[in-house]
C-alpha cells in the first residue's frame, strides 16, 4: 500500500530538483561563473570574403582588450563557413547565435518565422562582375545568351547583375544563370566553363591579379550604397545577453571606421584575415582588393538606413527571391547602432 503525502512533503524534493537543474544549466548559460573559468567566447559565423573583414578585426581587437583587462568579459570567435546555406542552417538550429548573413536571406528567414534580427552592417560595396581578359565582352549586351555564375539567388550580387542587365535593356531571361560557390568561380572562368561571374571579393581580385580576368562592372562604380553582408543575431541572444550584443556591434562598427582610417590599418587587417584562424588566404590577394582601387570595398559608413533596406527588398521582390514585403521592424533592430559606445581597436 502506497502512503499518501501532502504537497508540502514534496516541496523539499522539488527545490532540490530545481537547484540541480540550475546547477547543470549554469556552465552553459553563465560560463564565467562555472568553476572559475573564463567565459566561453561568442561564436560568430562568416565566410572568407572581404565583405566580412570587419569580423576578424573585431575578434582580434576584442582579444587584445581582454588581455588588457577592460570591457565586457566575453570574447568573440570567428567560425569559417564555406557557403551561405551552411550559415543559414546553423543560425536556424541555434548551433551559432550570430553571423554575417545576406540581407535578403535574413528577410526571407524572418518571413518564415525564424527569430533573427539584423543589428549592424558589415561593409559597403565589394561586388564585381568578372569576364575573361581575352573575351570580346565589353558591355552587358555582349553577354546575351551567355552563362553567368552567381553565389546564390539570395545574394545581393544577383541583384547587382540584374541591375546591370537592366541598364543594357536586358533581363535575367536573356542570359543563363547558375549558382556556384565563389571559390570555384575563378577556375571555372579560366577553363571557359562559364562566361562571367558575379560575386564578392576576393574572388574577383584573385582572377584579376592572376591576369586572366577583368572586371566588367564593380559596385563601387555602379551602386555606391550597395549593402550585402549584415551582422545578424538570434533574438534569444538579444533577450538573454543584450550587453554582449551591444559590445559586438560596438566592435564591428569601430572595426569599420578603423579599416577606412588608413592604409596601415588595412595592411594589419590583411595580415590578420590571411591567417589560418580566419580566411586562410594568400595575403597578396587580399592586399590587391584593398589597393585596386582603395574603395573597392569600404567599411567606414555602416549606418543602417531604412530606405536602403527598402530598396533592397523591392529589388528582391522583383527578382522573386522574396514572396512578400517584410516590415523593417520585423528583421532589423536599430537599438544597438543607436546606442553605440566607442571602443578601441588596439591592433
> Domains in the chain and their CATH numbers?
42-125+226-338 (3.40.190.10), 127-222 (3.40.190.10)
Which run of H or E residues covers position 129? strand 127-132
d(CA 138, CA 145) in angstroms, rounded, equals 15
d(CA 243, CA 109) in angstroms, rounded, equals 25
Q: What is the pLDDT of residues 22-44, one digit of tens each?
A: 333 333 333 443 445 668 999 99
Q: What is the pLDDT of residues 188-242, one digit of tens each?
A: 999 999 999 999 999 999 999 999 999 999 999 999 889 999 999 999 999 999 9
Q: Are 100 and 46 in contact (CB under 8 A)?
A: yes
Averaged pLDDT in 10-residue chunks for the chain of 347 residues: 37 39 35 57 96 97 91 93 92 96 96 97 95 96 97 94 96 96 95 97 96 97 92 98 98 98 97 97 96 94 95 96 96 98 94
Q: Are 280 and 56 in contact (CB under 8 A)?
A: no
**Of 208, 159, 182, 187, which is closest to residue 81 (Cα–Cα)?**
182
- Report if pTM > 0.85: yes
The three three-digit cell numbers of residue 130, written as one number: 568578372
Point out which residues pair with 198 in neighbouring strands. 129
Q: Are 254 and 342 in contact (CB under 8 A)?
A: yes
The three three-digit cell numbers of residue 264, written as one number: 596601415
d(CA 116, CA 12) in angstroms, rounded, equals 40
pLDDT at 300: 95
Amino acid at each position: 500500500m502506497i502512503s499518501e503525502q501532502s504537497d508540502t512533503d514534496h516541496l523539499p524534493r522539488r527545490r532540490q530538483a530545481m537547484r540541480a537543474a540550475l546547477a547543470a544549466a549554469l556552465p552553459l548559460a553563465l560560463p564565467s561563473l562555472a568553476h572559475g573559468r573564463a567565459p566561453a567566447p561568442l561564436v560568430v559565423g562568416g565566410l572568407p570574403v572581404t565583405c566580412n573583414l570587419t569580423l576578424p578585426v573585431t575578434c582580434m581587437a576584442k582579444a587584445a582588450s581582454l588581455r588588457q583587462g577592460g570591457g565586457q568579459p566575453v570574447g568573440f570567435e570567428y567560425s569559417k563557413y564555406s557557403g551561405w546555406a551552411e550559415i543559414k542552417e546553423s543560425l536556424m538550429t541555434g548551433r551559432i547565435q550570430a553571423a554575417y548573413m545576406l540581407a535578403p536571406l535574413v528577410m526571407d528567414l524572418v518571413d518564415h518565422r525564424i527569430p533573427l534580427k539584423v543589428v549592424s552592417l558589415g561593409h559597403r560595396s565589394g561586388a564585381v562582375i568578372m569576364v575573361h581578359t581575352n573575351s570580346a565582352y565589353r558591355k552587358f549586351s555582349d553577354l546575351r545568351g551567355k552563362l553567368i555564375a552567381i553565389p546564390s539567388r539570395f545574394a545581393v550580387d544577383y541583384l547587382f547583375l540584374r541591375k546591370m542587365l537592366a541598364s543594357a535593356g536586358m533581363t535575367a531571361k536573356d542570359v543563363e544563370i547558375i549558382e556556384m560557390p565563389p571559390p570555384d568561380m575563378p577556375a571555372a572562368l579560366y577553363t571557359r566553363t562559364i562566361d562571367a561571374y558575379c560575386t564578392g571579393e576576393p574572388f574577383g581580385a584573385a582572377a584579376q591579379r592572376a591576369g586572366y580576368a577583368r572586371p566588367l562592372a564593380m559596385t563601387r562604380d555602379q551602386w555606391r550604397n550597395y549593402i550585402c553582408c549584415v551582422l545578424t543575431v538570434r533574438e534569444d541572444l538579444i533577450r538573454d545577453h543584450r550587453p554582449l550584443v551591444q559590445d559586438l556591434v560596438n566592435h564591428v562598427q569601430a572595426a569599420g571606421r578603423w579599416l577606412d582610417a588608413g592604409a596601415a590599418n588595412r595592411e594589419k587587417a590583411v595580415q590578420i584575415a590571411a591567417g589560418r584562424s580566419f580566411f586562410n588566404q594568400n595575403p597578396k590577394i587580399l592586399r590587391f582588393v584593398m589597393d585596386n582601387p582603395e574603395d573597392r570595398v569600404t567599411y567606414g559608413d555602416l549606418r543602417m538606413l531604412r530606405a536602403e533596406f527598402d530598396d533592397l527588398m523591392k529589388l528582391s521582390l522583383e527578382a522573386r527571391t522574396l514572396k512578400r514585403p517584410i516590415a523593417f521592424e520585423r528583421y532589423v533592430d536599430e537599438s544597438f547602432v543607436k546606442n553605440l559606445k566607442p571602443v578601441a581597436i588596439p591592433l
